[in-house]
Amino acid sequence: MSTELERARERLFKSLRRQGKWKAALDAMARVPRELFVPEESRPQSYEDIPLPIAEGQTISQPYIVALMTHALDVRPGDRVLELGTGSGYQAAILSLMARKVYTVERVASLAESASALLRSLGYGNVEVHKAGRELGLPEQAPFDAIVVTAAAPRLPRSLMEQLAVGGRLVIPVGSQHEQWLMKVVRKKGGYATSSLGSCRFVPLLGKDAWS
């Protein structure tokens, strides 16, 4: 890594850690080389706190949002975690350091293939990349202890809530195609508890139970 990039990296984590929260999430994030998950031409910006374009018109989220979402998932070492929207594979790499097993699903085949190859080459052995099927998520591998959706849904998808274990957490942006609320849903014995974590902006989640 160039000295300049190394400095930007230190600046970013210093500023993210200044909040004094999200320790476990930030510790995992600090171990993942974000510069390897962005296109070559964006590498100099990889440690700015901004979203960056990846292939196929998609984006890798801003580090602040990645930290917030990762923290909200409350991942424990024995957990099986599901991600919707593999994209570059960056969020999956972070989760793989915190969980027992990560399943990540991507709609665009070329992104699924390149993320899978990158994750394998970097040694993230407990991540399985799946090409999205007709149903949202991965019902055949449910239930999950945590589910993170890194694309925006028009409403809370019931089909995904049902893929949570009791005690499981779902973090998902919900709203219009231009602006959303980041929602957290916890599955309880008798139902679901929902809370909002703030506003955000994601590319749309496409398919059944999402945007057509």
CB of 11 to ligand SAH, least distance (A): 21
Closest among 89, 64, 85, 76 to 146, alpha carbons compared? 76
Which residue, among 50, 53, 30, has the nearest Cα to 41 in the 3D structure? 53
Q: Length of the chain in residues, anyone? A: 212
Task: Please report, as residue ranges, which positions from 86 to 115 form the binding site for ligand SAH (by CB under 6 A).
Answer: 87-88, 90-91, 105-108, 111
Tokens of 14: 């210093």
Should residue 35 be labelled a site residue for ligand SAH when binding is judged by CB under 6 A? no
**Pairwise CA distance, residues 9 & 134, whole Å:** 39
Q: Give the shortest CB-21-to-ligand SAH separation in angstroms.
A: 21
Footprint of ligand SAH on 49-88 (CB under 6 A): 58-61, 84-85, 87-88
Which residues lie across from 80 on neighbouring strands? 101
Is-catalytic flag, 61?
A: yes
The answer to whether the CB of 79 falls within 8 A of the CB of 145 is: yes
Binding pattern to ligand SAH, positions 141-160, x when CB under 6 A? Answer: ---------xx---------
d(CA 79, CA 120): 20
Q: How far is the CB of 19 from ligand SAH (least distance, A)?
A: 21
Binding track over 116-135 against ligand SAH, x by CB under 6 A:
----------------x---
* Min dist. Cβ of residue 68 to ligand SAH (A): 13
CB atoms within 10 A of CB 71: 18
Of 2, 46, 61, 88, which residue is the catalytic one?
61
- Residue at token pair 């009791």: 166
Residues that bind ligand SAH (CB under 6 A): 58-61, 84-85, 87-88, 90-91, 105-108, 111, 132, 136, 150-151, 203, 205-207, 210
The catalytic residue positions are 61
